[in-house]
Amino acid sequence: MRWLFLAGAILIEVCATLSLRASDGLRKPAWIGVATIGYAVSFWLLWMSLSLGMPVGVAYGVWSACGVALVALLARVLFAEPLTAPMLAGITLIIIGVLTIELSGV
């Protein structure tokens, strides 16, 4: 169940972050509301995951790595933002690092 809460936290945080981008520099206030609510729900879901015993280092690492990867990929698709080979390499290294922490039994 803690992984389900974490997955929800990640997906909602990604939506909130993309909503900030969609707000066009805060010129579209509805997106700010979506982002604010999204971040609040995301932090609540992260808290639920932690309260069920997930180690904070693992939770935050997975949350951050997945968030970075998903935001970069979706920003490319939705907003035509650049996604270069070095950026993809960096995202890959972040994911490898998080997997190393997770698989080390922390």
Average pLDDT, the chain: 93
Percent of the chain with pLDDT over 90: 77
pLDDT tens digit string along 4-55? 999 999 999 999 999 999 998 889 999 999 999 999 999 999 999 999 999 9
Confidence of residue 57 (pLDDT cuts 50, 70, 90): confident
pLDDT in the model for residue 39: 98
pLDDT in the model for residue 106: 53
In which element (H, E) is residue 58 found?
helix 56-79
Q: How many domains does the chain have?
A: 1
pLDDT in the model for residue 103: 77
Average pLDDT over residues 81-85: 96
Q: How far apart are the first and last CA of the chain?
A: 18
Burial status of residue 73 (CB atoms within 10 A of its CB: 0-12, 13-18, 19 or more): middle
Distance between CA 23 and CA 50 in Å, rounded?
31
> Which residues constitute the domain of residue 26?
2-103
| CA separation, residue 95 to residues 41, 54, 64, 70, 84 (Å) | 24, 18, 9, 11, 17
